[in-house]
Structure 1
């Protein structure tokens, strides 16, 4: 069997800094894998895909790392894989949900979730006008987001106008901004629910006083990539200190009724791996605001958790591989 014909897990991504925990999990389980960096490249549509399972974890924030071509390259690759009947995990539909907060919020609302009141603005020149009769305070957010992109809090339309005039409003990658209600949390934290293969893995809380709007749990997100210094995230009110953890396991969460609702949502959308975030508000609401389909995991949480997130993903992918290629010698860990 040639290397191209040997079935393996093909991981479609664009950021090696986030891949370390997954690499370790693949190697610990003895599951064959290949990284496919979708930054640039050549795709032969007349050539069939290699054997295996294809897991896409392209991020909506890829353009912030100089990978502005990744989302469209991924769309092309996933279209090609679908045309040949390849088995994808977080496939073609998922990339659209990952790249659009509007897509996420409209789909969540359609399934009955409480989501933040949101006004979609195409073109920054219309933002101030759209904010004139919007309840205050409010936040702005990029439609194609991740890592808190474009999230700023304003107390009035005039304050927003002044920020735009001063060049302090960052243009969104796709030209679409969201005006969104400022959801007041009962305590300064949000909860993120991790689901793999329709199974709940664990839930974590994130301290928004120290994490602000940038609540990516990957360890690489906490430091400046050029200096290695701790970052003061946008929206944070307390500077994180070295060794301080803003994430914690949410103990006793496994029976919370929102888990089954999130599982049903992901099944309906064809999403197999995701982290979904919500806020419990001061007035008693449970507001779902973000679906992360390229979910990352935090090392300190992983050390304390009863089950590993990357480990659960690798076990799930290995099971799919064994199911699709039963004639191939058993994969370790499957």
Structure 2
């Protein structure tokens, strides 16, 4: 019997999906690519492959998991297997610079961003030229979960940080991004969830505690980064809140068109609104997780309107289509 193969490197993120899959009787199996050996001269198993490789895999000791996944996805597509979030999606997952190019090509606004090779002198020079006196955001090109994202009140604060930063802070792909700090009306961002390329719901995320915005419960590690020289504020409300009103139709249509053009089936797309209320997109997460608490409060947990529920239904339809083609 054909089944869904979930490609991943972090089993801690699987239980909510496993529960949704099992609820509808969806046959599935794990394909852990934290490490692996594959015979490229043989054919892959039949089934539908759902790629959940994460840009942050290197932070869990899986430095080459994304590279291994790229090779496996090429093998799968060469043999005509249906891959959800295939090679094009992985390419965007591991590079914010490539995300931004694709977003702008789709007519979406992004914050002003400067690409810098891992060199402190070049970073400081670029920050002085483009962002002085500040503030300025520093983030790795390949990150995930908001890890390594820091806000500096001034270019001088950035320079002082770089002078004392340990070598292990260097970005895994050797590329830093300097980015505009968007002054929003409220300290929140919005994360819009899409399954099968279609909008499911949007979550408002409180950012007063920092930039580590992974919605999964297992991401609540308490090590989010805050503006240098400030103390984290305690959110006055739940950090993740499902928006009943969703997002405006023109933005939703643009985001869906971006996903279709980019070969992305499942994603969480994060954006912030400037002082005029205009959205700027700054991150695309093709390895999306969902916040169970927010879904519970919204009354959608365990239903097809939840993230895991919508994903289970989508994968079941894909598997059924694959089985009908093979019949």
1:234 to 201, 225, 245: 225
The Cα offsets for residues 194-231 of structure 1, whole Å up to 9 and x where unpaired, read as 11113211111000113x101100000013xxxxxxx1
Task: Determine the structure 2 residue equivalent to 1:3.
Answer: none
**Following the alignment from structure 1 to structure 2, what is the Cα–Cα distance between the partners of residues 166 and 299?**
39
SS at match of 1:132: helix
1:171 aligns with 2:170: yes
Q: What is the CA-CA distance between 1:158 and the residue it aligns to?
A: 2.6
**Following the alignment from structure 1 to structure 2, what is the Cα–Cα distance between the partners of residues 205 and 254?**
11
Task: Determine the structure 2 residue equivalent to 1:133.
Answer: 129
**Following the alignment from structure 1 to structure 2, what is the Cα–Cα distance between the partners of residues 39 and 251?**
37
The 1:254/1:120 distance shift into structure 2, 3 A limit, reads closer
Task: Determine the structure 2 residue equivalent to 1:195.
Answer: 194
**The 10-residue stretch of structure 1 (276-285 or 177-186) with the greater mean CA deviation from structure 2:** 276-285
**Following the alignment from structure 2 to structure 1, what is the Cα–Cα distance between the partners of residues 307 and 326?**
26
2:62 to 64, 67, 79: 67
The Cα offsets for residues 22-52 of structure 1, whole Å up to 9 and x where unpaired, read as 0101111100000011011111001101010
**Following the alignment from structure 2 to structure 1, what is the Cα–Cα distance between the partners of residues 259 and 165?**
39
**Following the alignment from structure 2 to structure 1, what is the Cα–Cα distance between the partners of residues 164 and 279?**
36
**Following the alignment from structure 1 to structure 2, what is the Cα–Cα distance between the partners of residues 295 and 215?**
11
1:89 to 60, 84, 92: 84
2:30 to 10, 26, 35: 35
The Cα offsets for residues 127-182 of structure 1, whole Å up to 9 and x where unpaired, read as 11211212221110000011212211223333222111112682111110000001
2:105 to 110, 131, 134: 110
**Following the alignment from structure 1 to structure 2, what is the Cα–Cα distance between the partners of residues 141 and 90?**
24
**Following the alignment from structure 2 to structure 1, what is the Cα–Cα distance between the partners of residues 275 and 164?**
33
The 1:143/1:254 distance shift into structure 2, 3 A limit, reads closer
1:141–1:177 CA contact under 8 A, matched in 2 = yes
| TM-score normalised by L of structure 1 | 0.90
**Following the alignment from structure 1 to structure 2, what is the Cα–Cα distance between the partners of residues 155 and 328?**
59
**The 10-residue stretch of structure 1 (57-66 or 149-158) with the greater mean CA deviation from structure 2:** 149-158
Q: What is the CA-CA distance between 1:285 and the residue it aligns to?
A: 2.4
1:55 aligns with 2:50: yes
1:193-232 pair list within 5 angstroms? 193-210=192-209, 212-223=210-221, 231-232=222-223
The 1:158/1:89 distance shift into structure 2, 3 A limit, reads same
Q: What is the CA-CA distance between 1:238 and the residue it aligns to?
A: 1.6
1:142 to 140, 143, 167: 140
| TM-score normalised by L of structure 2 | 0.92
SS at match of 1:72: helix
SS at match of 1:260: helix
Unaligned runs of 5+ in 1: 1-5, 224-230, 330-334
2:206–2:235 CA contact under 8 A, matched in 1 = no
SS at match of 1:206: strand
2:147–2:224 CA contact under 8 A, matched in 1 = no
**Following the alignment from structure 2 to structure 1, what is the Cα–Cα distance between the partners of residues 277 and 321?**
44
Q: What is the CA-CA distance between 1:288 and the residue it aligns to?
A: 0.8
The Cα offsets for residues 39-96 of structure 1, whole Å up to 9 and x where unpaired, read as 1111100110101000001110001111112101100100100111111000011111
What root-mean-square deviation, in Å, do the aligned CA atoms of Structure 1 and Structure 2 show? 1.8
**Following the alignment from structure 1 to structure 2, what is the Cα–Cα distance between the partners of residues 94 and 268?**
11
| Runs of 4+ residues over 4 Å off in structure 1 | none
Q: What is the CA-CA distance between 1:327 and the residue it aligns to?
A: 7.9
**Following the alignment from structure 1 to structure 2, what is the Cα–Cα distance between the partners of residues 290 and 209?**
18
Unaligned runs of 5+ in 2: none
Q: What is the CA-CA distance between 1:123 and the residue it aligns to?
A: 1.9
